[in-house]
């Protein structure tokens, strides 16, 4: 059901936007509905208008007009947010950047590329195919690079390549008054000035609108191999991961799926995996290095009771496996038709991973609704998926309590309320508990860069 959204756009602003963009301004019900929701559980809020920009200069002009008229503005990319980051809770303008989809420069000799914010990760990697390079950050959705930077996204490759924080070199950003800045040069390192790139990566469109991104690229490894390793318990799988990481074995990916998640991907992606907690590994490097790494990990896994070890270097088999992992959101939704998916995540130090997962599993095992655990456990990040009857307030209340306890437990152990989904609407209430007085410093930054509060209001910082 749509939540009421206060109208925030004035007729003269709408007229000025149409003079600037022509038919790329829309107030149709269908366009507004599309831009008023994401993949999260949060209620729909319709923007008053949707503007589709094609350049940084157009974004600057749109922001300037909205600032002049004190009108809220929310940047919109692929619409795949899981915490309501792009829902326009105050109405106003939804700024659609998907038309800004040009790859501006690829510099193989420098191992970087510059793209407009609307370029997706798959589009960039398809463009790079003949260069021997790739961009490794891979959230489940085919998200836009600008959105990935704005939410500090990561994915299955983070254990080896890091998150967007480590892989964004420089940004072009439009500030709340319409000014355009570049956050830094492309030099490998710099001691000049404040780290503005780090400030704008992860700010979820609350401090500025990212319009161009320069990202790091990497050489495609000589050999890549995947292994599927089932376990009798989740705890045994997690212990295997902890030992692997602590030994410093340079794995590329390690993903956990519990038995419910395996059941879901078997049905959705037409796999035939044993329905039991399972780790998916990927190894990359030279042939000898890959074989050595895999041998050590297999020995660790067998020592923790692994019941199998299936190995493949076939590109098609690996692609099918990782696509199944990326499709887990939809696979879990299909387990309970008509249910509303609630996906939440936390991240903890690797030493605390087993404790938090054990506590979550004990609590969710008593629930009537479907739950599952998946995760990029190599970096301490895991996801809880809950499939809730949208018309059952008791299920919603119990799911909310599970989420609250899981997050508070993670924070108490030195972790964070969200490893990669972002804060958006859903995790705002935990920000003070995680950051303490640092919240007031964040408010000072917000007030300095967006004194009118027009950029993505109602997000990230708690009330």
Ranges assigned E (strand) in 231-277: 253-257
Structural domains in the chain, sorted by start: 11-96 (3.30.43.10), 103-219 (3.30.465.10), 223-329 (3.30.70.2190), 334-412 (3.30.70.2740)
Q: Helix, strand, or coil here: 452? A: coil
Phi, psi of 278 (to 5 degrees): -140, 140
Measured CA to CA, the distance from residue 162 to residue 147 in angstroms comes to 17
- How far is 186 from 200, CA to CA, in rounded Å? 16
User: Which residue's entry shows tokens 């299909």?
Assistant: 334
Distance CA 112, CA 133 (A): 10
Reduced to 3 DSSP states, what percent helix, strand and coil does the chain have, rounded to the nearest 5?
40, 20, 40
pLDDT for residue 6: 46
Model confidence pLDDT, tens digit, residues 187-242: 988 999 999 999 999 999 999 999 999 999 999 999 999 999 999 999 999 999 99
pLDDT at 407: 98
Q: Are 254 and 325 in contact (CB under 8 A)?
A: no
Question: Does residue 32 surpass a pLDDT of 90?
Answer: yes
Of the listed ranges 39-43, 84-88, 202-206, 226-230, the least confidently predicted one is 39-43
CA distance 354 to 237: 9
Residue 388's H or E segment, with its range, is strand 381-388
Query: Taking each helix axis from N to C terminus, what angle separates 328-335 and 315-326, rounded to the nearest 10 degrees?
Result: 60
CA atoms of 111 and 108, how far apart (whole Å): 5
The model carries a pTM of 0.93
Contact residues for 284 (Cβ-Cβ < 8 A; gap 6+) = 160, 221, 223, 224, 225, 252, 290
Is the model's pLDDT at 3 over the cut of 90?
Answer: no
Could you give the CA distance from residue 420 to residue 154 in angstroms, rounded to a whole number? 6
Per-position DSSP letters for 94-118, written without gaps between them: EEE-TT---EEEEETTTTEEEEETT
Q: Could you tell me which residue, 6 or 31, shows the higher pLDDT?
A: 31
pLDDT at 5 over 80: no
Residues 288, 291: Cα–Cα separation, whole Å: 5
């Amino acid at each position: 059901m749509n939540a009421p959204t206060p109208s925030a756009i004035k007729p003269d602003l709408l007229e000025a936007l149409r003079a600037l963009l022509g038919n790329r301004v829309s107030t149709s019900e269908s366009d507004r509905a599309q831009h008023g929701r994401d993949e999260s559980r949060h209620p729909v809020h319709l923007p008053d208008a949707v503007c589709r920009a094609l350049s940084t200069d157009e974004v600057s002009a749109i922001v300037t007009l909205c600032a002049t008229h004190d009108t809220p503005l929310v940047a919109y990319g692929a619409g795949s947010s899981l915490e309501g980051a792009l829902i326009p809770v105050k109405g106003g303008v939804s700024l659609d950047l998907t038309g800004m989809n040009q790859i501006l420069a690829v510099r193989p000799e420098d191992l970087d590329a510059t793209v407009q914010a609307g370029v997706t990760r798959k589009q960039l990697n398809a463009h790079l195919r003949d260069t021997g390079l790739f961009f490794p950050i891979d959230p489940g959705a085919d998200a836009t690079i600008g959105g990935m930077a704005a939410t500090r996204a990561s994915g299955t490759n983070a254990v080896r390549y890091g998150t967007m924080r480590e892989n964004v070199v420089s940004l072009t950003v439009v500030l709340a008054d319409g000014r355009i800045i570049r956050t830094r040069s492309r030099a490998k390192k710099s001691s000049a000035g404040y780290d503005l790139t780090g400030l704008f990566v992860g700010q979820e469109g609350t401090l500025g609108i990212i319009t161009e991104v320069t990202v790091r690229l990497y050489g495609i490894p000589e050999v890549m191999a995947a292994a599927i390793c089932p376990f009798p318990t989740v705890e045994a799988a997690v212990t295997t991961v902890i030992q692997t990481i602590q030994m410093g074995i340079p794995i590329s990916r390690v993903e956990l799926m519990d038995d419910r998640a395996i059941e879901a991907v078997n049905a959705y992606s037409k796999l035939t995996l044993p329905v039991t907690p399972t780790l998916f590994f990927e190894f990359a490097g030279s042939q000898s290095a890959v074989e050595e790494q895999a041998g050590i990990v297999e020995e660790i896994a067998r020592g923790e009771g692994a019941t199998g070890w299936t190995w493949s270097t076939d590109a098609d088999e690996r692609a099918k496996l990782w696509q199944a992992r990326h499709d887990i959101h939809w696979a879990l939704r299909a387990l309970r038709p008509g249910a509303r998916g609630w996906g939440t995540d936390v991240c903890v130090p690797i030493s605390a991973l087993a404790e938090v997962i054990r506590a979550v599993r004990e609590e969710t095992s008593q629930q009537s609704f479907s739950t599952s655990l998946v995760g990029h456990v190599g970096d301490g990040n895991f996801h809880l998926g809950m499939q809730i009857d949208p018309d059952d307030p008791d299920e919603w209340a119990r799911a909310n309590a599970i989420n609250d306890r899981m997050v508070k437990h993670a924070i108490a152990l030195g972790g964070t309320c969200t490893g990669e989904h972002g804060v958006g609407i859903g995790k705002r209430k935990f920000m003070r508990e995680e950051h303490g007085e640092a919240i007031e410093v964040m408010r000072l930054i917000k007030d300095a860069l967006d004194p009118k509060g027009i950029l993505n209001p109602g997000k990230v910082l708690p009330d």
